[in-house]
Amino acid sequence: MTPSEFASILKEDSKIRMVFDVLKDREWHCRECEYAHIGITQIAGGSGIQGLQRGTHSRPGLEIDSNNHWCCRCERMTRHDRWRGSFQTSLQAGAIPKSFAKKAILLSEKPGCCGGCRKNACPTHDRPQASNAALDKRD
């Protein structure tokens, strides 16, 4: 997908399109002064940077870097954003099947070998968690 094809997917007068129009040159842009014409108070939110990164079911997300840089216009260090020029697959929260989400939550709530340890490694045994039954068989 080219930048012009991506832009054609966005509504021409939308805020997200205006943010993309700023970023499409792949240069660093100050959040404090270079987006003022758009009228968004939180440029990093869903109508701005985050919305472009996330994508939707009908368009891919953008790979965007964010970092602190000196702004010559503001004459101070501010947060800047830059589009890398590449796209990424979007993943919407609703795209995760409910059955998978429920299973993941249940698995994360199971106690570890110490009856409640939820860390990747058990501090008592200094290795990945195992069930109490597995520990009993080993001893």
- The string of pLDDT tens digits covering residues 85-104 is 999 888 666 667 777 778 87
Q: What six digits make up the tokens of 54?
A: 């996330």
User: In this structure, what token pair is assigned to residue 32?
Assistant: 């404090």
List pLDDT tens digits, range 100-118.
778 878 877 665 555 555 5
Measured CA to CA, the distance from residue 32 to residue 71 in angstroms comes to 9
pTM as predicted: 0.63
Tens-place pLDDT, residues 24-77: 999 999 999 988 888 887 888 877 888 898 888 888 999 999 999 999 999 999
Alpha-carbon dihedral sign for residues 51, 54, 59, 60: positive
